[in-house]
Structure 1
């Protein structure tokens, strides 16, 4: 009887040990190296291009609220314009509402030589403007170098910094 009990206990103990032993799984994780400086990020680049097209369209359509919605105004927002001291988001919004709200006609709204550089969740867009805007009967031509810094947010790519400076165009001799 003792032998039977001992045998049964050993058998149960063996089953428990074998049943509780977990299989070890070896999961290989591929180490993806992201080079923020050299990788092109084509999908994000296309998203930024679509954002830039939407910004242009909202300005041309006179949809000021839509134009403003492409900005991520926060305490971090900055703007440099015309060699003046830095502006914040409040000043930028006031300026853009005033200027684009006063345009009576857009004759030309070209964003030339656009370069989009994506660095993960941040994008730098540089371009040359060739805007021909009418304010009543007055024509204003805006030829600038423009840099926009955008960050990908839950609402899409949004402007967090603007820099505008005159584009000096040399005449062909």
Structure 2
């Protein structure tokens, strides 16, 4: 029997609030979309380019790399680690998905992020141990929305000399979400996952649970939550009925040249894809397999709003799929509001363990 998590009452409330919203529609630019059904999202502010903001974000990313390189192995409390931490905005809802050395995925917050970064780059990496800090060619993308939110995605090509493991190459799928505040770009979310998922070992890390509560959420958060619930509802209603019946699911995406997705194949190999790849993957997965449960693990859902028009949804999934079984993934979904609707512009899925 199909079940869906506790969306129904909240969705109804959000629909009422949304219906009463009298905000003016945004001025939007024409742009070509990347796939057949993406034409519905053409002419969207989603595809507008912000070259100056892109350059600023890339400069910030370079400064982050410099802090890490110069401060490697000099201690968790060195001035360079202070600089690294200063590139984060911990005053907002900060979330991080990452993996420990035993291949266990976990969810943490601002405190966990700071402790991890100070320890990793200040103590575990040896002095002078950042041998290479780069992105694999062709994988780095900076997608800017409304000029004040930027999603930086890439597959890392790091070479680090570490105390426990010696010299290692780190090829991770990485999502870094930045917001511009007081004239500076700051990270508010990070999702790191290995390019190849290995069997997890050792003690499982503790997830830092979310404080998000739909009953006390803002109107904008409820709009996003309703959209998230509607995505789950259409998957539940139409999964297993064929790829051509996934049109409604696809309509929730803001496809175009900025769209990116990180995901994994059945063998645990990570990959980076675009609008066309996402549509093909989602039609095949949900069209061919029946989803019996669409939910999130309790107290792992976060909905963070930035400058009113961008929302980051993070959670650990609790899906049941016929023929596959339970799917517990660390999931990042980035939404942008356009023409009064919330559209997904980035997805990062990685197995919990």
Q: Do the structures match in fold with TM over 0.5?
A: yes
Show the 5 A alignment for 1:101-116.
101-102=122-123, 103-104=125-126, 105-112=129-136, 113-116=139-142
Q: Which residue of 1 aligns with 2:121?
A: 100
1:88 paired with 2:109, answer: yes
Q: Which residue of 1 aligns with 2:96?
A: 79
1:65 paired with 2:82, answer: yes
Deviation at 1:163, TM superposition (A): 0.1
More divergent stretch after superposition (91-100 vs 125-134): 125-134
Q: Which residue of 2 aligns with 1:6?
A: none
Deviation at 1:155, TM superposition (A): 4.8
Q: Which residue of 1 aligns with 2:55?
A: 46
1:130 paired with 2:139, answer: no
The number of residue pairs the alignment matches comes to: 140
More divergent stretch after superposition (133-142 vs 56-65): 133-142
Q: Which residue of 1 aligns with 2:170?
A: 142
RMSD: 2.1
Unpaired segments ≥5 residues, structure 2: 1-25, 30-43, 72-79, 197-268, 271-353
SS of the residue corresponding to residue 106 of structure 2 reads coil
Moved segments of 4+, more than 2 Å = 31-36, 82-85
Deviation at 1:85, TM superposition (A): 3.1
Q: What per-residue deviation string (whole Å, max 9, x for no partner) do you get for residues 97-137 of structure 1?
A: 00000221111111232100000211000011111111247
SS of the residue corresponding to residue 73 of structure 1 reads coil
Whose radius of gyration is greater, 1 or 2? 1
CA distance in 2, matches of 1:76, 1:59: 24
Cα pair 2:92 2:188 within 8 Å, conserved: no
CA distance in 2, matches of 1:155, 1:87: 27
Unpaired segments ≥5 residues, structure 1: 1-30
